[in-house]
Structure 1
């Protein structure tokens, strides 16, 4: 029936929840890209940025951050990465809710385990979508960093991959594993239960009929 094995059910929920939490850590992290001194004149300042702002810090530890001035002035991949990360948060939220409802230990939805199994499978799909959105956003951002780094004609400051991207990859991996485990544990096909009752014995019926007929005719004679 549409049941989920309890061990995999709990494991999938934990992995999906950890992936969802790491998205919340990745999105505001300022170190998506960090300046490097490779091929450049050594300076005393460090430049780093994420999807929302760019910052600079000097040797004294003073940080100065500015938000991007206009959404329309941003590069297309930054706008797409923003949309994908926000979508990943929404998908993760839906996945957590659906998984909690579809758990066998949950009282929501009653004891219709076939329906609960299907709801849990939907939660697994949401977790997979969460992981895909995160992986696409983080990998796309990292691909642009790599392209600029190895471009000898790039006039700007060379940058390298920051800690925020590694956290994002971890988030996407956990969400994908959790969603796949949940889908593999669910059988959303409803099995039809056939109830077979043994046919009545003909001998017993004839005996009963005969005895009834005998008593009916001769009982009061």
Structure 2
């Protein structure tokens, strides 16, 4: 019963991490306009993401535009796109396998096969969580490096956007959910199965032991 609860908790956490990770990948809030001292380095607030950039005017008007060319983007941004899409596809596959291998479903017949499928789903969620972490940590490192680099002009400096912090949280949900799903799907060891059989058959003698004779 406890293992079933771990499976369900792992699936729920992984599903939340998957949905939040999709929002992080689509949000244009990875890089935001930096403040140097107490003043804004630009008259307009700029948001930058993997797929689009937005400009907020002083009047509150927001203008968003997708990037014109994928090839014109920096190499780290192209890699971040690919890793995020790969992580999303792995999460979709892991969710399908996790539902099939859950103990509360009747999709697969053999319990051993269901356990293996659920363990594979947990491993895929763990891999997706690591894939999410790579572009987020890479982008955060580039932002911090450029912010403290005196060779970079102030108008080109950026700060960490809220999408990065949300991405760290979603990665943690995927890692924790995948680990719980894998732990809850572990098949019982041979010792537990033998003890279970012994309890069900108390009259059966152990190996090497003579059966007890009944006297009238």
Q: TM-score, normalised by structure 1?
A: 0.81
Aligned to 1:210: none
What secondary structure sits across from 1:54 in the alignment? Answer: strand
5+ residue gaps, structure 1: 205-221
Aligned to 1:31: 29
2: distance between equivalents of 1:74 and 1:56? Answer: 18
5+ residue gaps, structure 2: none
What secondary structure sits across from 1:27 in the alignment? Answer: helix
Q: Is the 8 A contact 1:114 1:190 kept in 2?
A: no
Aligned to 1:187: 186
Q: CA deviation at 1:119?
A: 0.7
| 1:14-48 per-position Cα deviation (integer Å, ceiling 9, x unaligned) | 11100011012111111111002216765431011
Q: Is the 8 A contact 1:53 1:65 kept in 2?
A: yes
Q: Is the 8 A contact 2:8 2:181 kept in 1?
A: no
- Match status 1:6 vs 2:7: no
Aligned to 1:148: 146
Larger Rg: 1
| 1:135-191 per-position Cα deviation (integer Å, ceiling 9, x unaligned) | 111111111111111111112422101111111111100000011112223325774
- Match status 1:163 vs 2:147: no
Aligned to 2:20: 22
- Match status 1:97 vs 2:109: no
2: distance between equivalents of 1:4 and 1:116? Answer: 16
Question: Which 10-residue stretch deviates more, 96-105 or 30-39?
Answer: 30-39
